[in-house]
Structure 1
Amino acid sequence: MNLTGIELRVIEMPLVAPFRTSFGVETVREAIIVRAVTPDAEGWGECVSMHAPLYSSEYVESSMDVLRRHLIPALAGAGSLDGSKVATVLEPFKGHRMSKAALEMAVLDAELRAAGIPLSRELGAVRAEVDCGVSVGIMDSIPELLDAVDGYLAEGYQRIKLKIEPGWDIEPVRAVRERFGDILLQVDANTAYRRGDARLLAGLDDFDLLLIEQPLDEEDVLGHAQLAEVVKTPICLDESIVSARAAADAIALGACSIVNIKPGRVGGYLEARRIHDVCRANDIPVWCGGMLETGIGRAANLALAALPGFTLPGDTSGSNRYYAQDITDPFTVENGVLPVPTGPGIGVTPHTDALDAVTTRTEWITF
């Protein structure tokens, strides 16, 4: 497959409500949409880097720069290309996994659209629908939190994830458990704690949580292994898992018993599938995390989450969880599930008017 060119769009989409984590408060989602154009089809990708380097070292302007200066020229010089070769072509460039993932996604989508093959089939999906969970940000008060959780449960979400940080942990978790009883409940710390907080985190054992997600720094894999010996609640790693090799190492060290797979964080959907395979071979359940994706990234995440090892509800929420209007047809949760797109490639295409309305700038790079 030969590429004609790549289009980069920076978009800004207001969130329906502020989303607060230990990294800060998001009110607008800034992202990069990638369009790969070939003589036979065009494909879409979404870069999940954030406005500032808070979740990871990547951020929107750094992604635009590395895409423009290095990654796209490398693809242009590679000649005939398919999705499986993108990672190999880009391997000499260190890091920038989110940018690489967006390019791979767009090229793979174009390839699959031309061949009439859904991404779900290409990845090895075994389910036609995916159980949905929702991520609830840090609130100003416990009554506000309880109202939010009540609303999400009324919408049919099967699992609630609470963001936590020092000072907002035991009491909000206790309040949710006491109010809503035996719901599927987990917490996400986004690296907000340190090894010395082990006793505090062990206090969460009283609430029968599914897991504690990424309590310590992303580089502190050993600390997570030590914490797992103290805390009874299963430890899930997110930011620490950047590749299949990192997953294998963390499992071998006993640093986690569950893994959150985010395709952007690991460099793409093909590497995400390899992580799934490593975890499944080691009897480690996985689930699909979210990065406030538009319908483009959400569609691809659903295809991934339909693989057999994804046995826990992920962050594959409906479009209305974050956006009043998505740039694709909206994904709507019904009876706690979302359908896996069945069309070629990722199975959705952005609406031109909706995409143009949120685009702040566009660059076209010809091959």
Structure 2
Amino acid sequence: MTRVAMTGARGFLGWHTRLALREQGVDASTVAVGQEYDLDSARQAVSGSARAVHLAGVNRASDDEVRDGNVLFATQFAEALRRADEPPSIVSYANSTQSINGSVYGEAKLRASEIVRSAADAVGATFEDVVLPNLFGEHGRPFYNAVTATFCHMLAAGERPAVVQDKELKLLHAQNAADLLSGGIPLTMQPSLEVRDTVSGLLSRLEGIARAYAQDEIPDVSDTYQRDLFNTYRSYTFDTRTPITLTRHADARGSFFEIIRSHGGAGQSSFSTTVPGVSRGDHYHRRKIERFTVLSGQATISLRKMFTDRVVEFAVRGDEPRAVDMPTGWSHKIQNTGTDTLYTSFWANEIFDPEKPDTIAEAV
């Protein structure tokens, strides 16, 4: 598979799906829908793709806008499929568990599924109806995408969220949803990736994560749900908690400072020397937690949020130690900008597995 066509590429789930595709070495062709829809452009984007993924939808608007918007997007996507010179062999649709609850949004998602399925059948493609529960993940839009995004945003801002209605949630991290939609993992794995929690339980976990990170510590990330919640939370703290200033103690004997305190889970520490003018990195992670700390010398750490031009740079020095935690979905590198050898400590929350490195080459 070399190319996937996708609607909703600029949305929350679209961003995560593009991260997953980039790891697979697959290009994503954007299919614009709504007011930006152009049949010829959409047809060309879909034609020749191995898979077409329909993500675009409307979930926060008036009843009419929700109903009409979801049906319109599905109709436009279906038209592009039917008109493609070389239709994809697989069509994947991001459906919702709400499609059976009788709500306006649920009925709109169900109708959109029927429209896309009909077009897939017409062109001889396999239709995958991926029914997704509540999604959470990095850079979700608070007060819009999900309660997790709202809680993270408020906690990062020092506010205290309140549980208005406590109920059980079925949750799925957006990177897992992206793998399902992009064909990175089989749909049969979805039940094992979903997590059940209550609204109050979710908030309690996030409050514990926020307390630990406020002390510059890594919370317990020994299970994947906790790790994914931590990665989600810290995506809302990047501008305020980065870099982390470390306390350096120095006397006639030399100097000492702590690099990291981690409350649980695996971990691996590494050390490198880098000659002046040379950089290391130029990659991103989808799930791995990674911390850079300069021990001696001076450097610039550069980070770029994937699929954007936003680059953030931090000047760091060994005699004024500051740690930088690399946000997931951001390409990053460190460059020796001094005249002496650069000594750097690298910490990751998992032991490196060459079969599953979660280190995807991408220039900052």
Q: What TM-score range do you get, normalising by the shorter chain?
A: under 0.3
TM value normalised by structure 2: 0.27
Which fold has the larger relative contact order, with Cα–Cα distance below 8 Å and residues 6 or more apart in sequence?
1
Structure in which a larger fraction of residues adopt strand: 2
What TM-score do the two structures reach when normalised by structure 1? 0.27
Which of the two has greater helix per residue? 1
Larger Rg: 2
